[in-house]
Amino acid sequence: MSYKILLFDLDDTLLDFGANEIDSLNKLFHQNGYTFSDELFRVYDSVNKQLWTDYENGNVALDEVLNSRFSETMLKLDKIVDGMEWENQYRELLGNGYQLIDGALEVCQSLSVTHRLFVITNGITKTQIKRLKQAGLYEFFDDIFDSQSIGFQKPSKAFFDYVMSHIKDFNVREALIIGDSLNTDIKGGLMSGIDTCWINRKSQKCSAEIQSTHTITSLAQLCYICAPIK
């Protein structure tokens, strides 16, 4: 298959969200007078993941996820905090983090010469654009599609229908979705009839229900999949 349009997930595909998250959370709790510990992270991580799952399943609004995750976390520790204020602080810290996944800069730079590159993310518009610019990746992409602006989130077909209808001369047979999440990126591609490339860096178990067109363990391998057919 000769791909011409590449749709990249952002967090944990091009940018190391895990490293950014830990650094930002540590600073957030410290500036609010709390020591950030492994136990505190486990509580937050559990609350946050459940809220994002509810959002991806269409059960809660994005604002509810963002403005309640810290208040719900601290409530489990019998503390009352302003969830919206904490979220604003966290958003600022997170927006300043742009740790790159190994090979991301080189791969995007190389593929942008021969392909049309786009970002597809469930992240927040302002934060994601800022991080892309700081990481030096922004210039390689024709456009950024995010769930906050679109009003739908991956893996919903509505999200991908919007993306396809807003890319000039889009041809589903020439498009490839690249992402680390089976449940959002790969499932979304399957539902929309777009080929997918799963980045499985951590040797996760494959899914019988959600199967990717391609599977790689590093971004560098993507260049071989996307090499023009001669």
> Alpha helix locations (H) across 96-230?
104-114, 125-135, 147-150, 157-165, 187-192, 222-225
Torsion of CA 51, 205, 7, 15, to 10 degrees: 70
Q: Could you tell me which residues are beta bridge partners of residue 100? A: 15
CA 187 to chain centre: 14
Q: Is residue 9 flagged as an active site residue?
A: yes
Measured distance CA(144)–CA(142) in Å, rounded: 7
Tell me the Ramachandran region of residue 177: left when phi exceeds 0, alpha when psi lies from -120 to 50, beta otherwise: beta
Strands of the sheet containing 5-8, edge to edge, are 143-146, 116-121, 5-8, 175-179, 195-199, 214-216
Q: Considering 9, 11, 146, 185, which one is annotated as catalytic?
A: 9
**Of 148, 156, 195, 139, nearest to 7 (Cα)?**
195
Catalytic residues: 9
